[in-house]
Amino acid sequence: MDMYQEGNRLVLAQGNSQLWIEPWGENSLRIRMTAKPQMDENDWALTEPMPEIKPEITFETIDVTDPWYKTEEFAKYHMTGTQATLKNGKIEARVSHEGWISFYNQKGELLTEEYWRNRNRLNRYCVPLRVDARELKPVQGGSDFELAARFEAFDDEKIFGMGQYQHRHLDKKGATLELAHRNSQASVPFYVSSRGYGFLWNNPAIGTATFGTNKTEWSAKRTQKLDYFITAGDSPAEIEKQYTFATGRTPMMPEYGMGYWQCKLRYRTQDELLAVAREHKRRGLPLDVIVVDFFHWTMQGDFKFEPRDWSDPEGMVRELREMGIEPVVSVWPTIDERSENFGKMASKGYLVSADRGSNLHMTWMGNTVFYDATHPGAQKFVWERCKENYYTKGIRCFWLDEAEPEYGPYDFDNYRYWAGPALSCTNTYPVGYAKGFYEGLKEAGEKDILSLVRCAWAGSQKYATLTWSGDIYSNFRSMREQLQAGLSMAMAGIPWWTSDIGGFIGGDISDPAFRELLVRWFQWGAFCPVFRMHGERSPWHEREVEFINNVRQLTSGQDNELWSFGEDVYELLKPYLFIRERLRPYIRQLMRDASETGAPVMRPLFYDFQQDDHCWNVEDAYMFGPDLLIAPVMEAGAETREIYLPKGCRWVDAYTGEAYEGGQRVTVPAPLGIIPVMMREGCNYPIYTKEC
């Protein structure tokens, strides 16, 4: 193996294989490896321009003679080898003479290292397993490789981030995660380690990540290279700052995004939607956004309003804006085979194709194919249709649904994109989807851009992506899972996040149990990055099957406005609209921080209190910015809430006004109308006032 410096890069070369280690921003490194003569040029999430950094690269010659042969008889076989180090600020990569890599911080403390298990007697893990840390195995008959990368496991390590998965645990240590998108699952493969580093698996292939007790292992089913980014920092905030510098930061959130969003499945007509907006204003309720959900269109893939039920979109938008309400329109990436755009998109190669069998991807409410969001031409084509039919009518904000995309079934080995086989690149789909709209809106002169998108991957945030957690169930278990999903997205670099308040599926508006759930979820929503009501709300309205121009029309769920659940519930929900308004200056600053430094809006307690060991174990409460500790009530019938208060300051219960020393668990009152909010002492945010 040859080991040498090439500019600012440390290169390990053997045959056709090359491995590069190079600085990639402050205190950060990028590691790439190929089994081909040329390195694959895809940067995937690492597309931000990096400053020129000159690392400190050193080489050292060492004695590598196996002790077994250090005898007079074998003296003539004495051997030496070369080991190397590359330092970039607070991170150092050390490469053994055989090419094994370990990473250290500026204090000389081991962060992580590759997992090798083979028979070399100089290796402290001298075992005959023949397991290497890096494997690029050729796929027979093709040009792709199957990839595995392995790292040592540490008993003291906790793992946070990785995107959105539907389970309870914030700490991913011990978990096996599918690196794939599904409805309610968003794979964003970046994590922050309690050992003081952050790690991005810069590969959009289908695979798995296993954070086992014996090893950490990453896999990709089809790829051209190994590619990852590692960054070291003295705090989680420093790690997030460096990661988002490399992958891009979210823009500043538009002012309307910080208020209350009203949404349901679905407002069937323009008149119905306007009636809800007018009623909000008649009651004196704050409302910033209202959503025109799916199947308002003539046909999937036409990207236009159905003229019978949406007869005057310009007039609707004008009236909403006069009320201070921003309209949002749903867009799906499904192209019906009967759509006016299907033939043109098919002929230009703008549709996802199948390697075998039928090329239909979804047969719900029509035979449809997903457009290829990895294709720059397809991105532009879809935006131009939406510009022509929505933007020119005043629509500035779009709901980009089905962004995984939601294949039925998820046979990833059968789909093919402009960018390559789905197995190798499908996780970039939501990035391209959001990118097309972001660049289109920017080119049209818009500055305040936001798209509500049902999935994300690393780097999505720089395209003004607000991710929500998909079609989740309406119960307390699901609510608890969304808490860790939102925090995990935040630690993975996606600061704009929301969930369907009350859950999407199964909420009966007349059921007292659901009404309790809705109240608790609504309270929590007021302290999420985006405060948004949504859900299908059962039972669905009974209507005869209806067609317009031979296109099946979708019915709707029950009402989903604050006044839809009874007067008692209304009186419990209403105050939180005003709490959100009173917190708007604070929320605005949190959004500015996210844009400027990559700081998550909602984050685990350890983000702000890393020196408190207990904070690394808290999974049922979080910080909403640096000053507010939020403890959602996630159990039916609860009237009190136990909370751990981080040490280092005193805390004041926003409801009772009682002050507590940090570093202890306390039990506070949490009647049905109250979510426990603890303020750092010295902060006096107007949360629970005399009127509320």
How confident is the model over 98-113, as pLDDT tens digits?
899 999 999 999 999 9
Phi and psi dihedrals of 689, rounded to 5? -95, 180
Identify the pLDDT of residue 123: 55
Is the pLDDT score of 500 beyond 80? yes
Helix (H) or strand (E) holding 166: none
Which pLDDT score is estimated for 141?
87
Q: Which pLDDT tens digit goes with each residue over 413-471?
A: 999 999 999 999 999 999 999 999 999 999 999 999 999 999 999 999 999 999 999 99
Domains 257-333+373-597 and 604-680 agree in fold: no
Report d(CA 194, CA 159) in Å as an integer. Answer: 7
Rounded to whole angstroms, how far apart are CA atoms 101 and 3?
13
Beta bridge partners of 231: 28, 198
pLDDT at residue 420, rounded to an integer: 96
Q: Are 594 and 249 in contact (CB under 8 A)?
A: yes
Residue type for 175, please? Answer: A
The closest alpha carbon to 501, from 533, 471, 473, 536, belongs to 533
Choose among 330, 335, 328: nearest CA to 352.
335
The structure tokens listed for 121 are 């007697």
Residue 126 predicted with pLDDT over 70: no
pLDDT at 690: 66
The number of residues making up the chain comes to 692
119: left (phi over 0), alpha (psi -120 to 50) or beta: alpha
> One of 114, 336, 401, 500 is an active-site residue; which one?
401
**Helix (H/G/I), strand (E/B), else coil: 518:** helix
CB 276 within 8 A of CB 293: no
Task: Identify the residue whose tokens are 């609707």.
Answer: 316
| Average pLDDT score over residue span 183-199 | 98
Residue with tokens 């040592």: 152
Q: What is the pLDDT of residues 520-543, one digit of tens each?
A: 999 999 999 999 999 999 888 877
Q: Extract the tokens encoding 468.
A: 């929500």
Give the whole-number percent of the chain exceeding pLDDT 90.
Answer: 88
pLDDT per position as a tens digit, 136-156: 999 998 889 999 999 999 999
Residues 345, 348, 352, 355: is their CA dihedral positive or negative?
Answer: positive
CA–CA dist 360, 335 (Å, integer): 10
Q: How many Å apart are CA 85 and CA 211, to the nearest integer?
A: 27
Catalytic residue check, 404: yes
Q: What's the CATH number of domain 604-680, 3.40.50.970, 3.50.50.60, 3.40.50.300, 2.60.40.1180? A: 2.60.40.1180
Q: Which residues 6+ apart lie within 8 Å of 573 measured at CB?
A: 518, 519, 522, 562, 565
Q: What is the pLDDT of residue 553?
A: 86
pLDDT tens-place string over residues 541-586: 877 788 888 888 888 999 999 999 999 999 999 999 999 999 999 9
How does the average pLDDT of the chain come out, rounded?
Answer: 95
Mean pLDDT over 344-372 rounds to 95
Question: Distance between CA 466 and CA 454 in Å, rounded?
Answer: 8
Instruction: Flag whether pLDDT at 121 surpasses 50.
Output: no
Catalytic residue among 22, 404, 406, 653: 404
Question: Smallest Cα–Cα separation from 534: which of 542, 525, 543?
Answer: 525
Residue identified by tokens 């949190």 is: 590
Domain boundaries, the chain: 2-247, 257-333+373-597, 604-680
Closest CA to 660 of 638, 641, 680: 680
- Pick the closest to residue 559 from 572, 569, 545 (CA basis): 569
Q: Which CATH architecture fits 257-333+373-597?
A: Alpha-Beta Barrel (3.20)
- pLDDT number for residue 120: 59
Looking at the predicted structure, is the pLDDT value of residue 71 above 60?
no
Count Cβ atoms below 10 Å from residue 43 Cβ, excluding itself: 12
* Res 119 pLDDT > 70: no
What Rg do the C-alpha atoms of the chain give, in angstroms? 27
Q: What is the pLDDT of residue 589?
A: 98
d(C-alpha 475, C-alpha 473), whole Å: 6
Closest CA to 644 of 676, 621, 675, 611: 621
Give the pLDDT band of residue 117 (cuts 50, 70, 90): confident
pLDDT at residue 74, as a whole number:
52
- Is the peptide bond prior to 266 cis by the omega test (within 30 degrees of 0)? yes
- For 450-485, give the DSSP string: -EEES---TTGGGGTEEEE--S-BSSHHHHHHHHHH
| Helix boundaries (H) for 196-254 | 236-247
Q: Is 320 helix (H, G, I), strand (E, B) or coil?
A: helix
Q: Tell me: pLDDT of 692 over 80.
A: no
Task: Give the pLDDT score at 124.
Answer: 58
In the DSSP assignment, the letter for residue 391 is: G
| Domain spanning 2-247: CATH superfamily | glycosyl hydrolase (family 31) (2.60.40.1760)
Q: Which residues contact 98 (CB under 8 A, 6 or more apart)?
A: 1, 81, 120, 122, 123
Please name the helix (run of DSSP H) or strand (run of DSSP E) that holds residue 347, with its range, or none: helix 342-347
Q: 3-class SS at 426? A: helix
- The one catalytic residue in 471, 508, 511, 642 is 471
The whole-number pLDDT of residue 542 equals 74
Which of 443, 495, 532 has the alpha carbon at shortest distance from 257?
532
How many other β-carbons are positioned within 10 Å of the β-carbon of residue 281?
14
